[in-house]
Structure 1
Amino acid sequence: MKTKQTKILFVCLGNICRSPMAHGVMQYLVDKYECQNVFCKIDSCGMYGEAEGTQTHQRTILEIQNQLNYQFMKPSRNWSAKDYDEYDLILAMDKSNYFAILKQLGKQKISDAAQKVKLFRDFDPKGKGNVMNPYGGEQIKYTQVFQIIERTCKNIIQSHVQIQDK
C-alpha cells in the first residue's frame, strides 16, 4: 500500500516568527523520525506583503538552535494563490490569518477549504486557539511559542505515522 504524501504549509502574518518556527520544527521532526515519505514538502509563508524577503527573526533562530540544536532560517515569502492548489494541509497560526486565507480563496474554493485550511492549534493536544505572536517580545515568549509548536508538530506527525522518540 502506497503511503499518502502530504505537503504542509504554515502561515502567519509576516513569515518571520511563528510560521518559520513551525516550518523548522516540523522539518527537524520529519528528519528525526524519518518520515519524509509522508511529509514530502514543508514550507511557510506570511499574509503581510511588506515582510517578503526578510530573514527569519533572530529570536526564532535562537530558540530553534537552543531547543533542538538545529540551524534553521529562511527568507520570508508571501502567500500566493497557487499555495492553495500546491499544499494538502494549510495551517494558519491564528484566526486572523485563517480568515485572511479564506478571503484570498474566493467563493469557488471556499467549499473545499475546510478539508485543507485549518488552525494550527486544532492539532494541539493541550487545546485549541491562536498561537500568540512573539514578535517584539522577550525570548521567553519565543520559548512559549516553541513549546506549543513542538508538541503540535509531533501530534501532526503522529496523526499520519507511528513514531517512537529517539
Structure 2
Amino acid sequence: MIRVLFVCLGNICRSPMAEAVMRDLVEKRGLSAEIKVDSAATSSWHIGEPPHKGTMAKLKEYNISISGMKARQLTVADFEAFGYIIGMDASNVRNTRDMLGQPDHPKIFRFLDLTPHEKDVPDPWYTDDFQETYDLVVEGCEALLEKILNK
C-alpha cells in the first residue's frame, strides 16, 4: 500500500485540495486499493473543520468529492504511516521536518519540486486565487502519480 500525505499550514485550503484531487486521479485510474491519500496541518488552528469554502467551491466546480474531509494536525506517527509526505510550500516542509524530527529524510519534500515550477503553491487563504492553486495542485498531483507509478 502506497500512502501519500499532503501538508499545509491549516489543512483547510491547499492540502485538502491536493488530497481531493489526488484521490480523484487515483480513483479514475482504478488504483484506490493500492494508493491511499490524506492531508494534515502543521498548525492546530482548524482541527475538525471542513475545507475552506473557496476550496470546496473550486472542487465542486470540477466535480471532485471532499467527502469525509476534516482538518487534522500532523503527528509523529505520520512519519511511519506515509511513504510520501509533501509540503505545499517550503515553510510547510521545514515545519514538517521539525515536527517529525526528520531534518533531511527524502520522503518529505516540497510539492512543486515534482514539476518545472521553482515556486511554492500559493496559499489562497491569502491570495484568494483558488483557481491558480487548483491548477498547480492538478499539475503536481499528476506528476506525483506518475512518479509513484514509475517506481
Among 109, 133, 150, the residue aligned to 2:138: 150
Q: What does residue 55 of structure 1 align with?
A: 50
> 2: CA distance between counterparts of 1:37 and 1:20?
20
Which residues of 2 match residues 105-116 of structure 1 at below 5 A? 105-106=100-101, 109-111=102-104, 113-114=105-106, 116=107
Q: Which runs of 5+ in 1 are unaligned?
A: none
Q: Which amino acid aligns with 1:131?
A: V
Q: Deviations over 1:14-57 (max 9, x none)?
A: 00000000000000000011122441x21000011121111110
Query: TM-score of the superposition, structure 1-length normalised?
Result: 0.83
Q: Which amino acid aligns with 2:31?
A: C
> 1: CA distance between counterparts of 2:84 and 2:64?
24
Q: What does residue 14 of structure 1 align with?
A: 10
Aligned residues: CA RMSD:
1.6
Among 123, 131, 146, the residue aligned to 2:121: 131
Q: Which amino acid aligns with 2:14?
A: R
Say whether residues 1:88 and 2:83 are aligned partners.
yes
> 1: CA distance between counterparts of 2:114 and 2:142?
9
Q: CA deviation at 1:65?
A: 1.1
Q: Percent same amino acid at aligned positions?
A: 28
Q: Which amino acid aligns with 1:30?
A: V
CA contact (8 A) 1:38 1:160 kept: no
Q: CA deviation at 1:137?
A: 4.1
Q: CA deviation at 1:128?
A: 2.9
> 1: CA distance between counterparts of 2:79 and 2:133?
25
Query: TM-score of the superposition, structure 2-length normalised?
Result: 0.91
> 2: CA distance between counterparts of 1:127 and 1:48?
26
Q: Which amino acid aligns with 2:18?
A: A
Say whether residues 1:99 and 2:94 are aligned partners.
yes
Q: Which amino acid aligns with 1:110?
A: P
Q: Which amino acid aligns with 2:111?
A: F
Q: What does residue 120 of structure 1 align with?
A: 111
Q: CA deviation at 1:129?
A: 2.2
Q: Which amino acid aligns with 2:8?
A: C
Q: CA deviation at 1:105?
A: 2.5
The structure with more radius of gyration: 1
Aligned residues: 149
CA contact (8 A) 1:7 1:86 kept: yes
